[in-house]
Amino acid sequence: MKVFDLIVIGGGAAGLVTASGAAQLGAKVALIEKDKLGGECLWTGCVPSKALIEAARTKRRIDLSRKEGFDMGEVQVDFARVMDHVHETIMTIEPHDNPERFRKMGITVIEGHATFTGHDRIEVNGETLVGGRFCIATGGSVFVPPIEGINNVSVMTHENFFNIRKQPKHLIVIGAGPIGCELGQSMARLGSQVTLVETFDCVLHNDDKELACMLHAYLDEEITIHISTRAMKVEEKEGTIRLTCQRGDESFVVEGDMLLLATGKRARTTNMGLELAGVRVEKNSLQVDASLRTTNPRIFACGDVAGPYLFTHMAEYQAGIVISNALIPLMNRKVSYDVVPWATYTDPELAHVGLSESAAIAQFGKENISIFRYSVKENDRHIIEGATKGMVKLVTKSNGKILGCDILGANAGDLIHEYALAIKKGLSVGSVSGTIHAYPTLAQANKRASDQYYAEKIFKGRIPKVVKWWLEKVRPKGEVL
């Protein structure tokens, strides 16, 4: 038996950060991964999807370049080469997650499936490992909805989508969350016909309803979207996929040559012997407390398997909590989900942080909050770049304290962090409004949104009356020679 201070199960973002941080603290660490280090983010998630999105945006920019004075004729898409570019991007980043890099840190990297055989030990490849502490970071797997015939047809998910070489003529996507919207729009820009089927009444139902509906309208220009629609039955014959859908009392069929499931993920917790370790599963994820301990105090969890937010940046944040609590004496850090930014990388992007309008109303009451909106079509840099779709929506308390922000527009995923910092520090709109922003930049839209608070206070209140009275008092009399 080999004994370790910390055994990390899962080599995705959460596991890699946990293992490397623990090793740098001097712990004896084992890192176990049954597939490839890097996990979903590197191989089937963030990296390949954003590379595909960027390729599709390049195609879109070329298509729209005529109005800027360029005429390059019709652009031909070589889809296989596009996918080559996607995989080249993966391999460029892969050295960051290469097993040898972690072995050089002193980490024992083991390829295999780990199963708990007790409260303090696991078995992998027929060998027993004993751990002082454990971190479960096994991520999530695709949720397959109960659709009749789904197991009898060729189905793509984000786990195998980036291996395709032939571009579909008509891609059917079930689910209009981030994965469905991002890949759907990208494939449409590369030349596929795309149909999205969504059970909710708008795309991106976890985002601000107002801005999500605005994005829905923009996506409607490029793809077909069926909302409030349930996929009921699917069948495949001679390369044609027939998806029977139900919307209210109406039933209709969508036909295509490829079906993509973008219906979310579930925590990967099966076949791990968790019951032997005293670890309980609750609502499709591991039951953890605010310190990210499971029901076995020596076993921690982070990343998608712990929830509640399935983001790479959340996995990294939680990994830092686990490192501290598992290895540093008397440390008891607790997670805080008050300021969690996220972004969907459609065009335009949709980003969020803090409280949404509906959440703020529920918490403080409608009379105690204020909403300020700034349309990016009014901002000079957005106009210069031809990126005039979208809005900055700011949620504040009546006294100006910032509660939340949603941004729909170019580079929204980058712009949201100014407000993330402001909320984390408990700042008011004055902090953003009073900060000089370089001109011309997209970030000026953030300042303009904050300026709305003062525009309402200063230009619509008593101050204009006072200023008018004072100017009349001091205005020079008679002609000026």
Model confidence pLDDT, tens digit, residues 394-416? 999 999 999 999 999 999 999 99
Q: What is the pLDDT of residues 205-242, one digit of tens each?
A: 999 999 999 999 999 999 999 999 999 999 999 999 99
Q: What is the pLDDT of residues 345-361, one digit of tens each?
A: 999 999 999 999 999 99
Residue 232 pLDDT: 97
- Selected from 3.50.50.60, 3.40.190.10, 3.40.50.800, 1.10.3720.10, the CATH number assigned to the domain covering 150-264 reads 3.50.50.60
Residue 185 pLDDT: 98
Answer for the pair 301, 135: CB distance below 8 angstroms, yes or no.
Answer: yes
Residue 473 pLDDT: 82
Residue 235 pLDDT: 97
The pTM (predicted TM-score) of the whole model is: 0.94
Nearest by Cα to 36 from 97, 93, 86, 91: 97
Residue 388 pLDDT: 97
- In degrees rounded to 5, what are phi and psi of residue 405? -150, 140
Q: Does CATH place domain 2-37+98-142+266-327 in 3.50.50.60?
A: yes
C-alpha neighbours within 13 Å on the C-beta side of residue 46: 14
Quickly state the pLDDT bin for 457 (edges 50, 70, 90): confident
Question: Is 342-459 the same fold as 150-264?
Answer: no
Who has greater pLDDT, 455 or 427?
427
Q: What is the pLDDT of residues 57-112, one digit of tens each?
A: 999 999 988 888 998 888 899 999 999 999 999 999 999 999 999 999 999 999 99
Between the alpha carbon of residue 216 and those of residues 52, 201, 389, the distances in Å are 21, 10, 12
Residue 480 pLDDT: 55
Say how far apart CA 366 and CA 447 lie, in whole Å: 24
CA dihedral 31, 33, 39, 44 (to 10 degrees): 170
Indicate whether 481 pLDDT > 60: no
SS3 163: helix
Residue 174 pLDDT: 98
Say how far apart CA 208 and CA 158 lie, in whole Å: 25
Indicate whether 159 pLDDT > 80: yes
Indicate whether 284 pLDDT > 80: no
Say how far apart CA 240 and CA 193 lie, in whole Å: 14
Tell me the average pLDDT across 179-187. 98
What mean pLDDT value characterizes the chain? 95
Q: What is the pLDDT of residues 233-248, one digit of tens each?
A: 999 999 999 999 999 9
SS (H, E, C) 110-160: EECCEEEEECCEEEECCEEEEEEEEEECCCEEECCCCCECHHHCCCECCCC
Say how far apart CA 101 and CA 98 lie, in whole Å: 5
What does the buried/exposed string (b/e) look like for 455-471 if buried means 16 or more CB atoms within 10 Å of the residue's CB? eeeeeeeeeeeeeeeee
The tokens describing 372, both together, are: 């300020």
Nearest by Cα to 267 from 227, 308, 234: 308
**Alpha helix (H) residue ranges in 190-285:** 209-219, 274-277
Residue 229: count of CB within 10 angstroms of its CB: 22
Indicate whether 176 pLDDT > 90: yes
Say how far apart CA 301 and CA 233 lie, in whole Å: 37
Q: Can you say whether the dihedral through the CA atoms of 250, 251, 256, 259 is positive or negative? A: positive
The tokens describing 67, both together, are: 């109005």
Say how far apart CA 274 and CA 196 lie, in whole Å: 37
Residue 479 pLDDT: 61
Nearest by Cα to 272 from 158, 134, 143, 142: 134
Say how far apart CA 216 and CA 292 lie, in whole Å: 36
Percent of the chain whose pLDDT exceeds 70: 99
Q: What is the pLDDT of residues 101-146, one digit of tens each?
A: 999 999 999 999 999 999 999 999 999 999 999 999 999 999 999 9
Domain 342-459 -> CATH class: alpha beta
SS3 235: strand
C-alpha neighbours within 13 Å on the C-beta side of residue 52: 30
Indicate whether 181 pLDDT > 90: yes
Who has greater pLDDT, 448 or 72?
448
Amino acid 38 reads G
Across the beta sheet with 230-237, the strand order is: 230-237, 240-247, 250-256
Each domain of the chain, given as residue ranges in start order, spans 2-37+98-142+266-327, 150-264, 342-459
Residue 441: count of CB within 10 angstroms of its CB: 16
E strand or H helix at 251: strand 250-256
